[in-house]
Amino acid sequence: MTFIEFKKLLLDAEISLPKFSNLIKVSEKNIQSYKKKGEVPNTVAVIATCFSVMNKNNIPYRLMIEELKLEAKTKVGAGFKKKNKSPDVIEEPNIK
């Protein structure tokens, strides 16, 4: 799905991109990055399509999604460790 088609579905679902990203707990910056690529991943396309269809059928999808109590994922791993602003203190061995 192209990013333009995705945006049209959001209009049909009567939800803005920032509210969409907040509802599904994905960073807005991440969603905006699909604009440069020109298309959205399949999962995002499916979600937007479902929201559009639900809205057209007067199904309160926002309440349903909020009830899931989704949590934003945080990146973990060696490359994503928070950096300490203070330099590490290296102790010298006590040699006698």
The predicted pLDDT at position 75 comes to 74
Residue 26 and residue 43 in contact, taking contact as beta carbons nearer than 8 Å = no
Alpha-carbon distance of 43 to 30, in angstroms, equals 13
- Of the pLDDT bands very low, low, confident and very high (cuts 50, 70, 90), residue 86 is low
Q: Which residues, in sequence order, are CB contacts of 73 under 8 Å at separation 6+?
A: 25
The predicted pLDDT at position 49 comes to 98
Alpha-carbon distance of 9 to 53, in angstroms, equals 9
pTM assigned to the model: 0.74
Residues 9-33: tens digit of each pLDDT: 999 999 999 999 999 999 999 999 9
Closest Cα partner for 32 from 21, 46, 43, 45?
21
Rg of the chain over Cα atoms, rounded to whole angstroms, equals 21
Closest Cα partner for 32 from 19, 18, 13, 15?
18
Strand partners, 2: 39
Q: Which sequence spans correspond to the domains of the chain?
A: 3-73
Residue 55's φ and ψ, nearest 5 degrees, are: -65, -40
In the predicted model, is pLDDT for residue 40 greater than 70?
yes
